[in-house]
Amino acid sequence: MRRPIILALAATCVALSAPALAKDQLVLAIGGEPEQGFDPLLGWGQYGSPLFQSTLLTRGQDLTPQPGLATEWSLSEDRLTWTLTLRTDVRFSDNTPLTAEDVAFTFNAAAEAGGRADLSALESARAIDGNTVELTLKTPRITFIDQLMTLGIVPNAERENGYGDEYGRQPLGAGPYRLVEWQEGEQLIVERNPYFYGPAPVFERLVFLFTDEAATLSAAHAGQVDLAAVPPALAENIPEQMHRVIMKSVDNRGILFPMQPATGEKADNGAPIGNNVTADLAIRQAANLALDRETLVDVALNGFGRPAFGPADGLPWSHKDEKLATPNLSRANALLDEAGWVRKEEDGLRYKNGQPARFRLTYPTSDTTRQQLAQVSAEMVRPLGIEMQPTGRHWDEIQREALHQDAIVFGFGSQSPQEVYYLFHSEHAGFGFYNSGYYANEAVDQHLDAAQAAANTEEANQHWQAAQWDGDTGYGVQGDTSWAWMVNLAHVYATNRCLDLGELGVAPHGHGWPVTANLLEWRWTCD
């Protein structure tokens, strides 16, 4: 019964937003709701606008830091201390002032919470005075500035209406909007924050609908939403009264390979570690060479995307030469021959030391795009005598059984090189979803550590790129080939013809609502 209720609510919203109120209210169906609520300490806002909260800095179109709550910021010569000067006119949506004490509390509490915001490098945060905050690090970390652009500031727990256990469902912040009503699983209603320090949003009220792909598209065709996220496979089916808006992204999909042989070792959760087939470099190289990425874009993404060869294609920290001329089956077959993988006529598979070139290619059953990518890529690799077995599993089953022994179709993509550190540094081996293949290369670790310790972004980018390929080794396709990256998704939206979304940036992985990052630029263009 939930879906009819949602659509009825959407219809009510549309009735309320008839022409006289069209400029005041938008109805949006742009993704799912956060499981842990709207709590920045647990990860809310890491992939888009925090909406209810403001951040110390904001991210410009070129990904460089811009003023937010802070008007000035500096880093000490030893690269251990950030000092930030705050605006003096910032108030929470309850009309109480935001001070340096709130900022210090937010960073210290987020570090203790251990959520998606990685503040492991933070030693302490303290208020110097009412409008100056000092953030001291344990060790230099160039990517710490990304937390200044993504971590929404919450009120100190010691103040009235301060942070507490229910904050995620009753957020109080200094962002452009404040929460009116959240009907979990159905919709979220927000309205303008009258005390927001920045320019007032054009739209008084936003209604977010939490619908699945089918219901979202139905609502769009019925004229019940102003902005709807559309999966690439359905992007040709845009309603006549709407137009298609495409947001470029680094939201990628690829195959993560287990890098270690199977020795019986198990992770802390009991999941088996290692795969004797994917641990062989020749197998990983051959699979990469067999993939026709342009075809994967056409088939799995309906043309709405681009080939992927790394975790951050086109971004400043990605190696510009990290590409392959694919498909190249002759080269792939030669590599397998040289590595001792012999094809048997009986079944067409290759074998080495009695081990068939066969392994599971696991994807989450809930994701039709990853299913298609798994099935099509398996067919591309099959002529080599390699059998990748597409296997759909629920996420909990993947974590419990498959995470470290199956090749897995993952999705990543970030506006920060910190993700590269997580994916490929050996200290993160077996840590969550990131380096679940237990990749380890001492030279790569050294490059990644040097990047984090760099004096500036330009110096850091040289080390990030070298970790991918330094001329001798690297995690990328010219080196260890730890992944077979496949595609970067375009983020496609069906948009009311009167809604101008402004200049959209490059979207990260699709968690959260990346399209809302420039919400203050949105405009209504019709009378």
Q: Are 484 and 463 in contact (CB under 8 A)?
A: no
Between 174 and 232, name the one with better pLDDT: 174
Residue with token string 């809310």: 44
List b or e across 162-172, with b for residues whose CB sees 16 or more CB atoms inside 10 angstroms: bbeeebbeebb
User: Which residues, at least 6 apart from 269, have a Cβ–Cβ distance to it below 8 Å?
Assistant: 399, 400
Which percentage of the chain shows pLDDT scores above 70? 96
* CA–CA dist 288, 326 (Å, integer): 8
The DSSP secondary structure of 125-187, one letter per residue, reads: EEEEETTEEEEEESS--GGGHHHHHH------TTSTT---TTGGGS---SSSEEEEEEETTTE
Residue 232: count of CB within 10 angstroms of its CB: 21
Q: At CA 9, angle to CA 6 and CA 12, rounded to 5?
A: 155
What's the pTM value of the predicted model, to 2 decimals? 0.89
Give the DSSP letter of residue 91: B
pLDDT at 488: 95
Give the DSSP letter of residue 261: -
Q: 286 falls in which pLDDT band (50, 70, 90)?
A: very high
Domains of the chain: 1-33+184-248+491-527 (3.40.190.10), 49-160 (3.40.190.10), 252-488 (3.10.105.10)
User: Which residues, at least 6 apart from 386, have a Cβ–Cβ distance to it below 8 Å?
Assistant: 283, 286, 287, 290, 336, 349, 350, 357, 358
* CA–CA dist 312, 488 (Å, integer): 9
* CA–CA dist 475, 485 (Å, integer): 12
pLDDT at 4: 39
What average pLDDT does the structure give for the chain?
Answer: 92
Answer yes or no: is pLDDT of 475 > 70.
yes
Lowest-confidence pick of 111-120, 281-290, 511-520: 111-120
Q: 478 falls in which pLDDT band (50, 70, 90)?
A: very high
* Per-residue pLDDT reduced to its tens digit, 78-95: 999 999 999 999 999 999
* Per-residue pLDDT reduced to its tens digit, 302-355: 999 999 999 999 999 999 988 888 899 999 999 999 999 999 989 999 999 999
**Residue 253 phi, psi (nearest 5):** -130, 140
Task: Tell me the helices (H) and strands (E) count for the chain, helix number first.
Answer: 12, 24
**What average pLDDT does this structure show over 197-217?**
93
Answer yes or no: is pLDDT of 19 > 80.
no
* CA–CA dist 161, 154 (Å, integer): 10
pLDDT at 113: 87
pLDDT at 236: 87
Beta bridge partners of residue 67, listed in sequence order: 57
pLDDT at 420: 97
Q: Are 6 and 215 in contact (CB under 8 A)?
A: yes
pLDDT at 399: 93
Q: Which of 485, 484, 486, 487 is nearest to 305 (CA)?
A: 487
Answer yes or no: is pLDDT of 14 > 60.
no
Q: Which two tokens stand for residue 485?
A: 């990256």
Q: Are 395 and 433 in contact (CB under 8 A)?
A: no
List Cβ<8 Å contacts ≥24 apart for 453-456: 453/79, 453/139, 453/140, 453/141, 453/142, 454/140, 454/142, 455/79, 456/142
Answer yes or no: is pLDDT of 16 > 80.
no
Q: Which two tokens stand for residue 37?
A: 């609520």
Q: Which two tokens stand for residue 152?
A: 């929404």
* CA–CA dist 453, 513 (Å, integer): 31
**Helices 213-221 and 2-16, axial angle in degrees (round to 10):** 30
Answer yes or no: is pLDDT of 197 > 80.
yes
Cα four-point dihedral sign 52, 179, 506, 462: positive
Residue with token string 């039709």: 368
Beta pairing, strands 252-256 & 407-412: antiparallel
List Cβ<8 Å contacts ≥24 apart for 114-122: 115/39, 115/41, 115/42, 115/43, 116/42, 116/43, 116/46, 117/40, 117/41, 117/43, 117/46, 117/147, 117/150, 117/151, 118/147, 118/418, 119/147, 119/151
Beta bridge partners of residue 177, listed in sequence order: 192
Q: Which of 521, 502, 498, 455 is nearest to 226 (CA)?
A: 498
The DSSP secondary structure of 304-355, one letter per residue, reads: -EEE-SSTTTTSTTS-TT-------HHHHHHHHHHTT-EEPTTTS-EEETTE
Q: Are 65 and 55 in contact (CB under 8 A)?
A: no
